[in-house]
Amino acid sequence: MRTKLAFLIAAGFLLGSGGAYATTTVTSTFQSRVTIAATCVIGGASTLDFGSPGVLGSNVDQTSTIQVTCTNSTAFNIGLDKGTNGASVTTRLMKGSGSETIQYSLFTDSSRLLNWGNTAPTDTDNGTGSGSSQSFTVYGRIPIQTTPSPDTYTDTITVAVTY
């Protein structure tokens, strides 16, 4: 019986010593990182549609919207060029299928006093990024002028965001 007991005790030690062979866990760490660069994107601009006024015997006013998204706290300016038919940012022209044109202007304010051009900060609109899309209204006006022939008159304006 003693031999059997000794054998069982020895076996118990062998079985119990299995913990000595347990795996050891080692750990390490790593960092995750991102660098946000100052950035702006133009989300789009709606068409400035003056409709179908007929005779241009009074001002025709309409608006358009530009969507800009800039990183939080990034200062920016929005400039509008002279268009594909204009001579300057103060003399913009929509052109029909022939040589006739319609003069129009773009403004940063609803009273249509501040011309919207592309010389920062003289005649541009500006803002500070919030990280979300921001809307900027373009106030357009066709002033009183001699009415040209019936046609569809268009121009293409380039929006530039400087930050």
| Range scoring the smallest mean pLDDT among 4-8, 22-26, 135-139 | 4-8
* Residue found under tokens 């991102």: 34
**Domain spans in the chain, listed from the N-terminal domain onward:** 40-162
Q: Is the pLDDT of residue 1 over 80?
A: no
How far is residue 65's CA from residue 139's CA, in Å, rounded to a whole number?
A: 9
> Count of alpha carbons within 13 Å of 149, Cβ hemisphere only?
7
| Range scoring the smallest mean pLDDT among 1-5, 91-95, 101-105 | 1-5
Task: Say if CB 86 and CB 92 are below 8 A apart.
Answer: yes
Strand order in the sheet with 101-107: 40-45, 60-70, 133-142, 101-107, 92-95
Higher pLDDT among residues 9 and 147, named by residue: 147
pLDDT in tens, 104-116: 999 999 999 999 9
Please name the CATH architecture into which domain 40-162 falls: Sandwich (2.60)
Task: Say if CB 108 and CB 114 are below 8 A apart.
Answer: yes
Angle at 93 (CA atoms; ends 66, 156), nearest 5 degrees: 40
Query: Where would I find the beta strands (DSSP E) of 2-46?
Result: 40-45
Task: Check residue 22 and give its pLDDT.
Answer: 78
Task: Check residue 18 and give its pLDDT.
Answer: 53
Task: Say if CB 52 and CB 102 are below 8 A apart.
Answer: no
Q: Is the pLDDT of residue 93 over 70?
A: yes
pLDDT in tens, 45-88: 999 999 999 999 999 999 999 999 999 999 999 999 999 999 99
Q: Is 15 helix (H, G, I), strand (E, B) or coil?
A: helix
> Count of alpha carbons within 13 Å of 27, Cβ hemisphere only?
1
At residue 4 the predicted structure's pLDDT band, cuts being 50, 70 and 90, is: low
How far is residue 139's CA from residue 60's CA, in Å, rounded to a whole number?
A: 11
Mean pLDDT of the chain: 91
> Rounded to two decimals, what is the model's pTM?
0.82
